[in-house]
């Protein structure tokens, strides 16, 4: 039995971020612990959706490319994201998906390190990251290969054959967080370019790409950045690399003068070269509005609250006797992202039963109940109620009901 030092109400009262919750349009009677899959709707995004559709598209029509600055949106939104990941302006652009952005960067990196033919990554990286390497290598032929490394043993496994190492800072299943500074420095000491996937980092805690001297990064915006389902991703190319960088998805929006309609591709020698086709204006505009929830908030404050929410969850779950039923597969709080992963052979059904009680978390195959902590809209009272409901599900074995075992298209 853990003695509570403060009640949920007391913790909420003294939470410096408590007013941020009002900036989200959260559904009633729902506790949302899945903002690391899809962040909820910021009220500003709802307003912007109407504005970009009705006023900008409907009334402005084609003139909005200039009048409402659609044409500069990818770099404008990129710079705003850059502020949240420690990137000075001119190094981040918003475009496409993480998968496609990985293809761009990996191709460019191989070209920039031409004497080396290996891409290294860890086997439990998010599958699409690995799939994109497989697709690229299949296109390039036998000269190139993928090497799996144990990210816990990077110093022994990365050698001077490797052109680029691709790592996801926070593991999507366990939440394990890698030491970006140390691993980047080590890789670079071997002449290896570094590519970080920030899917579970951006908006969750401080990231310092410039300070860590990272070479490249990608990330998505629909998790902790609350950009909406399938919101466009981003790509970071350190300023020092931009003059030599050349990526193969050379669509017209990455051209140095797209509206001259020249038949020859001349890349824009800036981060804009990563643009390819016409950007998805509506989705990106909604994302731009969503990012305003980060105005006036530091990532440090978000990180501090996340750690308190996680500690409170663990204390409550221990106190309710729930934690004994699971295996905690996340590392300790300093070595994980803003999530807790609990393994259980019935994790899928438990997750469904929790959802049926109004607590939305995530299942990740094969056996992980994944709980995301997004401090801008979660309060301690949410955590208290969520644990109470989980406790009912476990103690009464409610998850054994057939209805919770039926698999859905998206799990």
Segment 225-264, which members bind a copy of itself (CB under 8 A)? Answer: 228-233, 246-253, 255, 258-264
Q: How many residues does the chain have?
A: 411
Please tell me whether the peptide bond between 366 and the residue prior to it is cis, using omega within 30 degrees of 0: yes
Catalytic (active site) residue 197:
yes
Listing DSSP states for 37-48 in one string gives: TS---BHHHHHH
**SS3 label, residue 70:** coil
Residue 201 binds a copy of itself, judged by CB under 8 A: no
Residue with tokens 């003294």: 14
Cβ count near 28 (within 10 Å): 5
Residue 188 binds a copy of itself, judged by CB under 8 A: no
Nearer of residues 257 and 311 to a copy of itself, judged by Cβ: 257
Catalytic (active site) residue 396:
no
Residue 343 binds a copy of itself, judged by CB under 8 A: no
Residues 288-307 that bind a copy of itself (CB under 8 A): none
Residue 23 binds a copy of itself, judged by CB under 8 A: no
Query: Rounded to whole angstroms, how far apart are CA atoms 2 and 21?
Result: 28
273 near 265, Cβ under 8 Å? Answer: no
Per-residue string for binding with a copy of itself, 365-404, x by CB under 8 A?
Answer: x---------------------------------------
**SS3 label, residue 357:** coil
DSSP H stretches of helix in 124-260: 127-140, 154-157, 180-189
Residue 112 binds a copy of itself, judged by CB under 8 A: no
Catalytic (active site) residue 21:
no
Q: How far is the CB of 268 from a copy of itself (least distance, A)?
A: 12
264 phi, psi to nearest 5 deg = -110, 135
Region from 84-92, 126-134, 149-157, 381-389 binding a copy of itself, contact rule CB under 8 A: 126-134
Query: Rounded to whole angstroms, how far apart are CA atoms 40 and 224?
Result: 9
Nearer of residues 40 and 337 to a copy of itself, judged by Cβ: 40
Listing DSSP states for 271-305 in one string gives: GGGG--S---HHHHHHHHHHGGGGTT--HHHHHHH
Give the one residue of 22, 50, 88, 300 binding a copy of itself; rule: CB under 8 A: 50
Give the one residue of 2, 7, 10, 25 binding a copy of itself; rule: CB under 8 A: 25
Residue with tokens 């016409």: 278
Catalytic choice (223, 305, 308, 364): 223
Nearer of residues 255 and 305 to a copy of itself, judged by Cβ: 255
Region from 234-242, 330-338, 359-367, 376-384 binding a copy of itself, contact rule CB under 8 A: 359-367
Nearer of residues 97 and 213 to a copy of itself, judged by Cβ: 97
Catalytic choice (24, 103, 126, 312): 126
Query: Rounded to whole angstroms, how far apart are CA atoms 230 and 272?
Result: 21
Catalytic (active site) residue 224:
no
Nearer of residues 55 and 300 to a copy of itself, judged by Cβ: 55
Query: Rounded to whole angstroms, how far apart are CA atoms 119 and 137?
Result: 9
Residue 331 binds a copy of itself, judged by CB under 8 A: no
Task: Using the Cα atoms of residue 127, residue 129, residue 131 and residue 134 in order, give the sign of their dihedral.
Answer: negative
Give the one residue of 279, 337, 349, 359 binding a copy of itself; rule: CB under 8 A: 279
Nearer of residues 128 and 239 to a copy of itself, judged by Cβ: 128
Residue with tokens 């860590």: 212
Catalytic choice (197, 215, 346, 382): 197
368 near 347, Cβ under 8 Å? Answer: yes
String of b and e for 209-247 (b: at least 16 CB within 10 Å)?
bbebebbbbbbbbbbbbbbbeebbbbbbbbeebbeebbb
Residues 153-182 that bind a copy of itself (CB under 8 A): none
Catalytic (active site) residue 76:
no
Nearer of residues 15 and 34 to a copy of itself, judged by Cβ: 34
Residue 358 binds a copy of itself, judged by CB under 8 A: no
Residue with tokens 């970009």: 52
Give the one residue of 278, 327, 335, 345 binding a copy of itself; rule: CB under 8 A: 278
Max distance between CA atoms of the chain, in angstroms, equals 72
Give the one residue of 9, 13, 22, 59 binding a copy of itself; rule: CB under 8 A: 59
Q: Which residues are catalytic?
A: 126, 197, 222-223, 370
């Amino acid at each position: 039995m853990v003695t509570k030092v403060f009640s949920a109400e007391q913790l909420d009262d003294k939470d410096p971020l408590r007013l941020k919750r009002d900036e989200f349009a959260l559904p009633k009677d729902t506790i949302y612990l899945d903002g690391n899959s899809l962040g909820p709707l910021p009220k500003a995004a709802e307003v912007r959706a109407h504005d970009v559709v009705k006023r900008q598209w409907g009334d402005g029509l084609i003139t909005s490319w200039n009048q409402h600055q659609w044409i500069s949106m990818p770099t404008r939104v990129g710079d705003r994201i850059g502020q949240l990941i420690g990137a000075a302006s001119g190094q981040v652009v918003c475009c496409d998906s993480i998968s496609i952005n990985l293809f761009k960067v990996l191709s460019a990196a191989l070209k920039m390190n031409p004497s080396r033919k290996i891409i290294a990554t860890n086997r439990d990286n998010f599958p699409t990251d690995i799939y994109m390497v497989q697709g690229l290598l299949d296109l390039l032929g036998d000269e190139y290969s993928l090497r799996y490394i144990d990210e816990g043993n990077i110093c022994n496994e990365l050698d001077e054959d490797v052109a680029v190492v691709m790592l996801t800072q926070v593991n999507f299943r366990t939440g394990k967080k890698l030491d970006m500074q140390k691993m980047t420095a080590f890789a670079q000491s071997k002449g290896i370019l570094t590519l970080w996937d920030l899917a579970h980092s951006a908006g969750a805690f401080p990231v310092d790409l410039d300070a860590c001297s990272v070479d490249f990064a990608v990330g998505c915006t629909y998790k902790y950045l609350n950009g909406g389902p399938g919101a466009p991703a981003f790509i970071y190319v350190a300023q020092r690399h931009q003059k030599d960088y050349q990526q193969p998805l050379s669509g017209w929006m990455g051209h140095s003068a797209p509206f001259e309609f020249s038949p020859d591709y001349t890349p824009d020698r800036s981060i804009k070269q990563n643009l390819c086709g016409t950007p998805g204006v509506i989705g990106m505009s909604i994302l731009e509005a969503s990012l305003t929830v980060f105005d006036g908030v530091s990532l440090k404050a978000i990180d501090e609250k996340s750690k308190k929410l996680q500690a409170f969850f663990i204390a409550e779950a221990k106190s309710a006797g729930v934690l004994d039923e699971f295996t905690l597969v996340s590392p300790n709080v300093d070595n994980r992202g803003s999530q807790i992963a609990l393994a259980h052979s019935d994790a899928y059904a438990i997750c469904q039963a929790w959802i049926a009680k109004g607590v939305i978390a995530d299942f990740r195959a094969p056996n992980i109940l994944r709980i995301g902590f997004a401090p801008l809209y979660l309060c301690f009272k949410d955590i208290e109620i969520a644990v109470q409901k989980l406790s009912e599900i476990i103690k009464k074995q409610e998850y054994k009901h057939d209805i919770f075992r039926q698999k859905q298209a998206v799990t």
